[in-house]
Structure 1
Amino acid sequence: MTTESTSHAADIEAIGRLVATVEHSQQTKDPEEFLGLDAIAEFTRRVLPAASWDGKVTYEVVHVLFIRPDVAAVKIRQRYLAPGEESEGAPLYVISKQADGRWLLTACQNTGVVAN
């Protein structure tokens, strides 16, 4: 993982925990565990339980860019692993630090990675 500064070590650790929670919610297809704003939560409750993948999904924080001390852009490597097949996504999360110190998803975008 790369960042523009090591002065945000505690925030980067908290962001890593947030991404691990997203990873777990994807693995278990649990929309209630997926953290974020109401619009993201509503979308996730509708889509995640009916997700079509079988197998395991993993998330890895690749890069963190602090836009402000309380806003970060987080690049993720997302891998879906199923017997006999594998696919990859490249999510970008914009997350914001709340007054209570928690980092929450604010905007999310995912792009599929096409294998060569």
Structure 2
Amino acid sequence: MTTESTARAADIDALKRVVATVEHSQQHKDPEAFLALFHPDAIWTTAHGKVLIGLDAIAEFTRAVLPSADWDGKVSYEVVHVLFLRPDVAAVKVRQRYLSPDDESEGAPLYVMTKQDDGRWLLTACQNTGVVVG
């Protein structure tokens, strides 16, 4: 394995860890863990089309909505594709599933993440899209 491919594999693992932390924060309805993943200038569009610009707006929305979310914490997030736009910018396609005894719904988020000078990957431009069945 070359140094470049080793570095790329490490970045993919880091991106997957961000998505795993999103999953954990959603399962535990933990706004602070979720918000720690964002770039200060991030843009987030919710599954219902609400556009949030900047960490302050994302934080206000998340703190109001996440703790009282109407699912029982059974949600999963799976990285299905990673496209590096540059070595420090990645588009990450995610499969999101909400599970309940009576129903299942799915989302198809796209997270554009940027690698910071300290090596951390942060959510920077994200679109959370619900999947319509049928």
Structure 1: 5+ residue runs without aligned partners? Answer: 1-5
Higher helix residue share:
2
Q: Distance in 1 between matches of 2:114 and 2:26?
A: 21
Identify the residue that residue 37 of structure 1 maps to in structure 2.
39
Give the letter aligned to residue 36 of structure 1.
F
Aligned-residue Cα RMSD (Å) equals: 1.5
* Aligned partner of residue 94 in structure 1, secondary structure: strand
Percent of residue pairs bearing the same amino acid type: 77
Identify the residue that residue 108 of structure 2 maps to in structure 1.
90
Structure 2: 5+ residue runs without aligned partners? Answer: 41-54
Per the TM alignment, residue 44 of structure 1 is displaced from its structure 2 partner at its CA by 2.2
Q: Distance in 2 between matches of 1:73 and 1:22?
A: 16
Could you list the structure 1 runs, at least 4 aligned residues long, displaced by more than 6 angstroms after superposition: none
Identify the residue that residue 27 of structure 2 maps to in structure 1.
27
* Aligned partner of residue 31 in structure 2, secondary structure: coil
TM-score scaled by structure 2? 0.77
Identify the residue that residue 73 of structure 1 maps to in structure 2.
91
Per the TM alignment, residue 54 of structure 1 is displaced from its structure 2 partner at its CA by 2.1
TM-score scaled by structure 1? 0.88
CA deviation string 1:35-82 (max 9, x = no partner): 113423443223211222224000000000101100100000000011
Give the letter aligned to residue 123 of structure 2.
L
| Structure (1 or 2) with the larger CA radius of gyration | 2
